[in-house]
A and B are shown apart, each in its own frame.
Chain A
Amino acid sequence: GNSVTQMEGPVTLSEEAFLTINCTYTATGYPSLFWYVQYPGEGLQLLLKATKADDKGSNKGFEATYRKETTSFHLEKGSVQVSDSAVYFCALEGSGYIPTFGRGTSLIVHP
Chain B
Amino acid sequence: EAGVAQSPRYKIIEKRQSVAFWCNPISGHATLYWYQQILGQGPKLLIQFQNNGVVDDSQLPKDRFSAERLKGVDSTLKIQPAKLEDSAVYLCASSPSRGSSYNEQFFGPGTRLTVL
Contact = CB atoms under 8 A, between A and B. Distances in A.
Interface of A: 4, 32, 36, 42-46, 49, 51, 89, 91, 93, 96-104
Interface stretch (B15-23, B64-72, B76-84, B98-106): B98-106
B33 A99 contact: yes
Contacts of B41: 103-104
Interface residues of B, number: 27
Given A43-B107, A44-B107, A46-B104, A97 B43 contact: no
A44 B41 CA distance: 13
Given A44-B91, A49-B104, A51-B100, A96 B56 contact: yes
Given A99-B105, A103-B40, A32 B45 contact: no
Q: Chain A interface mostly helix, strand, loop or mixed?
A: strand
Interface of B: 3-4, 31, 33, 35, 40-45, 48, 55-56, 91, 93, 98-100, 103-110
A103 B106 CA distance: 19
A43 B4 CA distance: 10
B42 A93 contact: no
B43 A101 contact: yes
Contacts of A96: 55-56
A51 B110 CA distance: 27
